[in-house]
Amino acid sequence: MEQKVILHFDLKAGSGKSTMAALETYLLARMKERVLLIDLDPSAVSTHAIQKTFSIANDTSKNVFQGLKDGDLNSQVLDVQENLAIIPGSLRINLWSPIVTAANDDDAGRILTNLIANIHRKFSYILLDVPARWDMLSMNALIASNFVFLLLENQKSSFSLFSEAAHHLADFREASDASFTVSGIVPLLSRGSLTQPDNQRFLTDARASFGQAVLHNVIWNQERIKVFTDEGISAKAAWDQRALDMYQRVLNEELTRIG
């Protein structure tokens, strides 16, 4: 089976996309899928969550910046379990400039695509985590992806920022001749419960605006998620499992959409 490269994309910082990358990596591995997480976010939140979950020591010799700098990601793959691996994030990725090493602008946008294609081991899924900004790093990640899921948060500024991101994405896809598919929109309820009237209105408005693109399943704020990112993902307690079940439902719907 050809590996599927998945990216959750948002221009709003703090929306939870790094948490989603870590949790979906964990869940895919639990489903016995071979999965690789490539952490391109200088905050390295998803890297930290996976390391804490599996008690992996921080190996500073392996990181995504070194792989991009050397033009080879193979030596930077850190095995976590038999079917789970990561390429750890690094603050130094802010120093990486594809323009320096590329022959032209088109090549600069496809460096990550080529490096992923040259990874020796085959994974069923590769998840990319990028910072919430529009730059050459995000463009590389978009071009390298097969499937992109957009995140829509229930805040006043979210609809306008989301629309801006969606227009950027459409224009960029056409201009760069990229082949990624926007496979859906994940609703994020950053405050309140799922049944709260304001959140129900938000979901109704989102589905009225974007139709079937909006996933049926929703991510809503739970204190347990903060524990996952700080202390590692756990499935021991009932509240752990409740949070994991929420992400599992979203992941299942995403996998159904991408086929």
| Residues contacting residue 101 through CB under 8 Å, at least 6 positions apart | 71, 108, 111
Supply the pLDDT for residue 102. 59
When the pLDDT of each residue in the chain is averaged and rounded to a whole number, the result is 90
Angle (CA) 116 119 122, round 5°? 105
- What is the b/e burial string over 116-152, where b = at least 16 CB atoms within 10 angstroms of the residue's CB? beebeeebbbbbbbbbbeeebbbbbbbbbbbbbbbbb
Q: Give residue 88's pLDDT.
A: 97
Running DSSP on this structure, what letter comes out for residue 214? B
Average pLDDT over residues 223-235: 89
Q: Is 71 exposed, middle or buried (0-12, 13-18, 19+ CB in 10 A)?
A: exposed
> Using CA atoms, how far apart are residues 166 and 171, in angstroms rounded to an integer?
9
Question: Residue 180, Cβ neighbours under 10 Å: how many?
Answer: 21
Report residue 1's pLDDT band, with 50, 70 and 90 as the boundaries: low
pLDDT on residue 157 = 61
Label the pairing between strands 84-87 and 78-81. antiparallel
Higher pLDDT pick, 113 / 97:
113
* pLDDT for 101: 62
- Mean of the pLDDT values across residues 64-85? 95
Q: Tell me phi and psi for residue 85, to 5 degrees.
A: -140, 155
pLDDT for position 156: 63
Average pLDDT over residues 48-55: 95
- Token representation of residue 84: 């789970």
Residue 256 has pLDDT above 80, yes or no: yes
The Cα–Cα gap between 88 and 57 comes to: 11
Predicted pLDDT at 125: 98
Q: Give the pLDDT score at 68.
A: 94
SS3 label, residue 37: strand
- Per-residue pLDDT tens for 117-143? 999 999 999 999 999 888 899 999 999
pLDDT at 28: 98
State mean pLDDT over 145-149: 96
Q: Is the pLDDT of residue 61 over 90?
A: no
Euclidean distance between CA atoms 243 and 19, whole angstroms:
12
